[in-house]
Amino acid sequence: MGNIKINRLWTVFLSGLVSLLFVLYHFSEMLFLRGRGVLNEAIGSGDQYLERLSFYPDRIQHLFSTATAYFPGVSYLAVAVKLVFGESFQEEILLLIAVLVLLGYIVAQYFVYKRFGGKADYLQYLLFFILITHTVFWEFINFSCEFKPDTLAFLLGTLAFLTVISNRKNYLSYISIVLFNFLAIVTKQQYLFFCLGLNVAIIYIYWRETKQMIIYLACFLFSSIVACFLLLNDTNLLYYAIEAHRGRGYGWLNFSATHLGLLLFTISVLLTIKICWTKEQAIFLFQKVKANRLFVAYIMIGACILIMQLVSAANFGGGFAPNTSFALAFFMPACLMLLDMLEINFFKGSTYLISLIVCFMFFNALPQNYLKVRDYYINRTDAIHILEYFKGKKAIISPDTYVLARKAGLHVIADLGTYSHLNTGIYKGALDTSILDLYRNKVQIELIPSDPYGHRNRPSFLDKFDFKPYQTSNILLQGSLFFNRQN
């Protein structure tokens, strides 16, 4: 009994330590990374809401203002943080929330896994999740920590699924489902694929309990209709978050490192099965899967998300590799459960050793991250002082520099990130005249980072305008700050 108690305490301690170091590592890493376009766009949309009571620019006076390409869920959070804490540390607080949301999603997935009857404890599940996502699905981790809204939407959807399978027949459960589903739809467009899968899963689980099935379906239908009505009533949202995505399909063969890693992993698993399995073992696994209705229901949800995402990416629009990596990461509880069904111990008694290795890797990186964060904020403070010389000047920026321009007091008249978002799909080339007019008549400053090869991240037809680079030793402004010789 004494050894068991010590092992439990040791497991709890390591679970807390790995979780803490996971949060600290990714939060500190995001603090010094320059590219935070997704989050800055949400912050920009939040600022617009406080100024004009709309998260999206009007198409007459503010066509190219900084705006999110997604539904405004994260922008609502940006508004709340700004109202409560002010804008001084708004970006940092939102980055911390993003990492905590990611950890919350892992915890929610763990509870789903335990409802399947999984054998692993939280520490083992967390280690499994970290090892897979940090090797194969690294895009999922990167975009989650930048606060791509999929993670928050999937967390809310997973909470709705957990509420459904708890089968607590009371008003609190029904209200929770309505609330989770409503907030998830408001957060991200692609959550509708998740919602579709949830409805299929409900029918599969409760088809013999007609009354309960109808109640759950009604909860999802009601919250979906209300959310869509409120969102689609905003014509600017229709333009920026829906219509602008149309027609930008990426094709079926546009694979990334995520998909290559998945392909290699799948081939290796299939080869292992072919070599090691007998027909009887395959039938035994199929019977186990079939008997676990919650497991099958979860696979149905994941299949809806993945299939619809692939179809959407190939023929309609949306980020192919990042969104697909989110869809694939959804299957983590099912992957570990399959290993349990096959009676394969992923850790083979080395849980504590792997925990200590992961802790060492995170902890070892923290001092380096601290130095990078310190240097970044020294350079950012210096960059703001330099930019204050141009305070009030009319500026073109990118999403990466929105917060920097706001702190320096630049008069931002357009965001090339918004132009790039709109200048794809069905609107490709239609807005070139509008951006040219801004350059001819108004633009005095460009604050647009160059790519790693020194190329300026802007359309080539703007090269004819005579902008001179501002000579500075500040690494945040080198290759980013240009001023108009004529203005």
**pLDDT level of residue 306 (50, 70, 90 thresholds):** confident
- Residue 341 CB: number of other CB atoms within 10 A? 21
Q: Is 380 within a domain? A: yes
- Token pair 């099912």 is found at 334
For the chain, the first-to-last Cα distance in angstroms comes to 79
My answer on whether 334 and 235 are in the same domain is: yes
Q: Is 336 within a domain? A: yes
For residue 472, pLDDT beyond 60: yes
Rounded Cα gap, residues 446 and 277, in angstroms: 62
Q: Identify the pLDDT of residue 290.
A: 76
For residue 486, pLDDT beyond 90: no
Beta bridge partners, 456, equal 450
Mean pLDDT check: name the lowest of 7-11, 110-114, 269-273, 332-336.
269-273
User: What does the DSSP 8-state code read for residue 452?
Assistant: T
For residue 453, pLDDT beyond 50: no
Average pLDDT score over the chain: 83
Beta bridge partners, 469, equal 482
> How many Cα atoms occupy the beta-carbon half-sphere of 451 within 13 Å?
5
pLDDT digits 0-9 by tens, 139-185? 788 888 889 899 999 999 999 999 999 888 888 999 999 999 999 99
Question: What are the distances in angstroms from CA 86 to CA 37, 62, 89, 90, 91?
Answer: 20, 24, 7, 7, 10
pLDDT digits 0-9 by tens, 61-73? 777 888 888 899 9
Residues 181, 184, 190, CA angle at the centre, nearest 5°?
Answer: 115
CB 69 within 8 A of CB 249: no
CB 40 within 8 A of CB 403: yes
Q: Identify the pLDDT of residue 270.
A: 60
Rounded Cα gap, residues 316 and 241, in angstroms: 13
Report the sign of the C-alpha dihedral through residues 104, 110, 111, 116, in that order: positive
More confident residue, 375 or 419: 375
My answer on whether 270 and 165 are in the same domain is: yes
My answer on whether 337 and 419 are in the same domain is: no
Last residue of a domain, one of 292, 318, 347: 347
- For 374, the domain range is 367-484
CA 79 to chain centre: 19
Q: Which residue, 467, 448, 444, 468, is CA-closest to 456?
A: 448
Q: Is 407 within a domain? A: yes
Residues 200, 205, 209, CA angle at the centre, nearest 5°?
Answer: 115
Q: Is 5 within a domain? A: no
Task: State the greatest distance between any 2 C-alpha atoms of the chain, in Å, as a whole number.
Answer: 81
pLDDT digits 0-9 by tens, 108-142? 999 999 999 888 899 999 999 998 888 877 778 88
CB 402 within 8 A of CB 43: yes
CA 400 to chain centre: 16
Q: What is the pTM of this model?
A: 0.90
For residue 432, pLDDT beyond 90: no
Beta bridge partners, 481, equal 447
How long a stretch of residues is the chain? Answer: 487
Mean pLDDT check: name the lowest of 83-87, 233-237, 362-366.
233-237
Q: Is 72 within a domain? A: no
Q: Identify the pLDDT of residue 155.
A: 96
Rounded Cα gap, residues 274 and 382, in angstroms: 61
My answer on whether 211 and 336 are in the same domain is: yes
Question: What are the distances in angstroms from CA 90 to CA 68, 326, 361?
Answer: 16, 26, 29
Last residue of a domain, one of 302, 318, 347: 347
Q: Is 44 within a domain? A: no
My answer on whether 339 and 397 are in the same domain is: no
Q: Identify the pLDDT of residue 18.
A: 94
- Token pair 């802007």 is found at 458
For residue 268, pLDDT beyond 70: no
Q: Identify the pLDDT of residue 454.
A: 52
Tell me the average pLDDT across 337-351: 79
Q: Total domain count for the chain?
A: 2
My answer on whether 306 and 423 are in the same domain is: no
- Token pair 């959550």 is found at 191
Q: Is 355 within a domain? A: no
Rounded Cα gap, residues 74 and 153, in angstroms: 10
For residue 252, pLDDT beyond 50: no
Last residue of a domain, one of 283, 313, 347: 347
**pLDDT level of residue 420 (50, 70, 90 thresholds):** confident
**pLDDT level of residue 224 (50, 70, 90 thresholds):** very high
Parallel/antiparallel/unpaired status of strands 445-447 and 394-397: parallel
Q: Identify the pLDDT of residue 253.
A: 44
Q: Which amino acid is at 160?
A: A
Q: Is 143 within a domain? A: yes
**Please, what's the b/e burial string for 87-117 (b: 16 or more CB within 10 A of its CB; e: otherwise)?**
beebbebbbbbbbebbbbbbebbbbbbbbbe
My answer on whether 331 and 389 are in the same domain is: no
Alpha helices in 277-350 (DSSP H): 279-291, 293-315, 320-329, 332-341
Q: Which residue, 333, 317, 305, is CA-closest to 153?
A: 305
**Structure tokens, 64:** 């190219």
Greatest mean pLDDT among 98-107, 290-299, 373-382: 98-107
Beta bridge partners, 394, equal 411
Q: Which residue, 67, 66, 70, is CA-closest to 413?
A: 66
Rounded Cα gap, residues 350 and 282, in angstroms: 28
My answer on whether 391 and 324 are in the same domain is: no
Mean pLDDT check: name the lowest of 67-76, 255-264, 283-292, 328-337.
255-264
My answer on whether 383 and 326 are in the same domain is: no
CB 56 within 8 A of CB 239: yes
| Helix (H) or strand (E) segment spanning residue 231 | helix 210-232
**pLDDT level of residue 361 (50, 70, 90 thresholds):** very high
My answer on whether 294 and 224 are in the same domain is: yes
pLDDT digits 0-9 by tens, 9-64? 888 899 999 999 999 999 999 988 755 788 999 999 999 898 888 888 887 777 78
Parallel/antiparallel/unpaired status of strands 411-415 and 467-469: unpaired
Q: Identify the pLDDT of residue 325.
A: 80
My answer on whether 256 and 384 are in the same domain is: no
Q: Identify the pLDDT of residue 321.
A: 65
My answer on whether 319 and 183 are in the same domain is: yes
More confident residue, 19 or 275: 19
Rounded Cα gap, residues 111 and 91, in angstroms: 30
